[in-house]
Amino acid sequence: MQTTKQRARSHSARAAAYTRRAESYARMSADFYQTSRRWAAQAATLTQNRGLWFKDYTPALLEENATTWKRIADTYLRMSFAETASAAYYRQMAANARALAAEQEA
């Protein structure tokens, strides 16, 4: 059985892991938003240059790609928020365990 101090360390480690994962998801989300913006910019450029259109290279298709990347970015951003909430929960659990350990030692 874990001691209260061990439980606090375990919760802290878990909080750190959730924080790292949240940061990773946030970085990926930012990259995907940037990709979405690039697709949207290409679509805008293509709209002004009708001579560059091909069967599978039209502004509508590029806008669809931009929308898809934005949805992916939104998903990763929501995942980042969820991981951040989990990290906060485990940080609070660690703080509670440390407080209980301090009470037990006193």
Chain segment 14-63, per-residue pLDDT in tens: 999 999 999 999 999 999 999 999 999 999 999 999 888 888 899 999 99
Q: Average pLDDT of 67-87?
A: 98
- What's the domain range around 80? 4-105
At 56 the pLDDT is 85
Total count of domains within the chain: 1
Distance CA 74, CA 76 (A): 5
pLDDT at 1 over 80: no
**In this predicted structure, what is the pLDDT of residue 2?**
79
Res. 3: pLDDT tops 80: yes
**Cα distance between residue 96 and residue 90, in whole Å:** 10
Whether 4 and 101 have beta carbons less than 8 Å apart is answered as yes
